[in-house]
Amino acid sequence: MRPRALAREIVDRWAAARLAHVTVTSLVAPPPRAFASWGAGSIIVPPARVESPECIHVGAGVVVHEHAWLAIEHRPGLPAPVLRVGNDVRMNRFVKIECAGSVELGEGVLLADRVHISDVDHPALKTDDGPRPDSASDPRPVVVGPRVFIGSGAVIKSGVTIGEHAYISANAVVVRDVPPRTLVAGSPARAVRQWEPSDEERG
């Protein structure tokens, strides 16, 4: 290999290594002290993206898996957004939570891969050039009750409250409230069945 070509290859490899380092470093979660609150035993697995950790409350025993994205959006004229993650919450890979106002995950919530939760909507407006995304709507609080399971690829829209022990099927699009202990499926999601609390829950 000619010296000039060799030098160019070395420079390219160095640039690629530096880009990889910068990318990985930027996806390392902030330290616990950067969060509004941080519970014992919680962990965020890199690479993950966390914005404005000072607006995020993390309970104890929380696990956020790789490639999750906690997206906090500050808006002029509105109070600072708040994301509350309860004790023992599990977020699997590629979960994205958009919070411009208030999002709350109760104790023991389990989010499967690619779940998307947002307290804002992004409507499409028709123009002469066809549909285009408009600016996001005003935030409406999202509340996910304790011990809810949300299946892979499900979408939870703004203003939705999900009751405790509910089960959201894979790829469901939840646009309205879900009662406790209710299985929902489809797009838009509809109730499939409900169940009574167990003796253990009553006790």
Q: Which of 102, 96, 99 is nearest to 153 (CA)?
A: 96
| Mean pLDDT score, 198-203 | 53
User: Which runs of consecutive H residues, i.e. helices, occur in the chain?
Assistant: 3-26, 199-202
| Count of residues making up the chain | 203
Q: Does the structure show a pLDDT above 50 at 22?
A: no
| Mean pLDDT score, 88-108 | 97
Q: Quick one: fold of 31-202?
A: UDP N-Acetylglucosamine Acyltransferase; domain 1 (2.160.10)
Distances (CA, A) of 154 to 93, 151, 167, 192: 13, 6, 11, 16
Tens digits of residue pLDDT in 164-188: 999 999 999 999 999 999 999 999 9
pLDDT band at 203 (very low <50, low <70, confident <90, very high): very low
| Mean pLDDT score, 120-132 | 62
Q: Given this model, what pLDDT does residue 79 score?
A: 92
Q: Given this model, what pLDDT does residue 144 score?
A: 98
Which residues are part of the catalytic machinery? 122
| Total-model pTM | 0.81
Q: Does the structure show a pLDDT above 80 at 5?
A: no
Q: Which of 76, 35, 74, 80 is nearest to 53 (CA)?
A: 35
Give ∠ CA 119-120-121 in degrees, rounded to 5: 130
